[in-house]
Amino acid sequence: MSIHYKSASESRVAISELMLPSYSNFNGKIHGGYILSLLDQIAFACASKHSRAYCVTASVDTVDFLNPIEVGELVTMKASINYVGRTSMVVGIRVEAENIQTGVVKHCNSSYFTMVARDDEGNGVEVDGLLLEDTTAIKRFLKAVKRIETKRKRKEEFDREDFVPSDYLADLEKYKVKVGF
């Protein structure tokens, strides 16, 4: 079986939506939960476009809220495939908000979602490879690999059966915590 490759541009998705008062929180800013819902939708669309399969969210690896989004701003989300595994993909998403009266655009959010392609029975579907066409694509791929490796190492270190908290007491001294045993 030969591997097919797609560039990130072939799966790229963008959506724009005007932020309404009904999306705001008690502080008058757009609720982060609403933005998360939109992020999940665009991650699904991007991953499904790349894999040509139904995709599910396996994890939300990073969501950095950088600037608040105001009611009345036009939010644009841009998603692209940053990494592919056998059945999984990391979708990178950039969120920008534009003040439609002034034209000022601000970067509001960066997110990384791990999506998995599934068939009708819920089994994993092998996805196309990723063609890295420029330096930006290479950086995005390598950053995704580093996040995956860090996540795996953290799990191996702290989710072990033989984990001993006392091994980390000295590390905890530099934080604002008190160990009560």
Do 88 and 113 form a contact (C-beta atoms < 8 A)? no
Q: Is 16 exposed, middle or buried (0-12, 13-18, 19+ CB in 10 A)?
A: exposed
Q: Rounded to the nearest 5 degrees, what angle is found at the Cα of 101, between the Cα atoms of 99 and 105?
A: 30
pLDDT, tens digit only, all 181 positions of the chain = 578 999 999 999 999 999 999 999 999 999 999 999 999 999 999 999 999 999 999 999 989 999 999 999 999 999 999 999 999 999 999 999 999 999 999 999 999 999 999 999 999 999 999 999 999 999 999 999 999 999 999 999 999 999 998 889 889 989 999 888 7
Q: Is 171 exposed, middle or buried (0-12, 13-18, 19+ CB in 10 A)?
A: exposed
CA-nearest of 62, 73, 64 to 29 is: 73
CA-nearest of 67, 122, 140, 63 to 99 is: 67
Do 6 and 128 form a contact (C-beta atoms < 8 A)? yes
pTM here? 0.90
Cβ atoms within 10 A of the Cβ of 129, count? Answer: 11
- pLDDT at position 60, please? 96
Domains and CATH numbers, the chain: 5-132 (3.10.129.10)
User: In terms of DSSP bridges, do strands 5-7 and 74-84 run parallel, antiparallel, or are they unpaired?
Assistant: unpaired
- pLDDT at position 1, please? 58
